[in-house]
Amino acid sequence: MAVTEDGTVDGMGRGTDERRSSIDTATRTAPEAAKPQRPIGRDIKAVYPHRWTVPQPLWRQLFASARHQIDILVYSGLFLAENAGILQIITERAQAGAQVRIMLGDPTSPHVTARGADEGIGPDLMIARIKNAIKLYEPLQATEGVEVRLHRTVLYNSIYRADDNLLINLHAYATPAAQAPVMHIQASDDTSTATTYLTSIDHTWARAAPFGQADDQGT
């Protein structure tokens, strides 16, 4: 469920009992069953209370809609890396001409270690998740137009972009990314909310290192 334009939560009744019933139903219903959300502003299309409440079809639709650019800026993004259907969509979009930039956290970065501690899962598990993601994302580089780099940046958000549409997974202390909120933002012009996040992607990409270069530098 997501917060909508009028400040209500879509799909919830007005009465207390109806709200409780809707919440109970939502906890038993797969995210795919979530209803389409109305925009809550010019740029912000929806806000989801947790990443796991983002409807699964939305992830597929996001990447399938890309014609020019796909960006993934994460520490591990393992939930996507383990989704063979998503990886196939990304590959197909690259084959159709889209440029794909995937930025994963460098497993040796102190920021990765700190993020593991901050999320409460521990540094070792965070590092293991990133190494697993690297193995799963790396084969995509066999497709022209796909490149994966490792970054040593403090991430305040994980960002998933397809052209002008972005899903922003906010990071919060002591909260795993899957439990943190997600904003669906659409870029409209250079003054839109999305510009901040697009700039973050570009700066991180410029400072990130390809796998081989990162290894040579001992990172």
Determine whether domain 39-216 maps to CATH 3.40.640.10: no
How far is the C-alpha of 211 from the C-alpha of 35, rounded, in Å?
Answer: 40
CB 161 within 8 A of CB 71: yes
Q: pLDDT at position 115, please? A: 78
pTM of the predicted structure, to 2 decimals: 0.78
Q: List the domain boundaries for the chain.
A: 39-216
Q: pLDDT at position 103, please? A: 96
Alpha carbon separation from 125 to 18, 95, 116, 212, 215 (Å, rounded): 40, 34, 7, 23, 21
Q: 10-residue block means of pLDDT along the chain (219 residues)?
A: 48 41 40 53 89 96 97 94 96 97 91 77 80 93 96 92 96 87 89 88 95 54
CB 164 within 8 A of CB 186: yes
3-state secondary structure of 190: coil
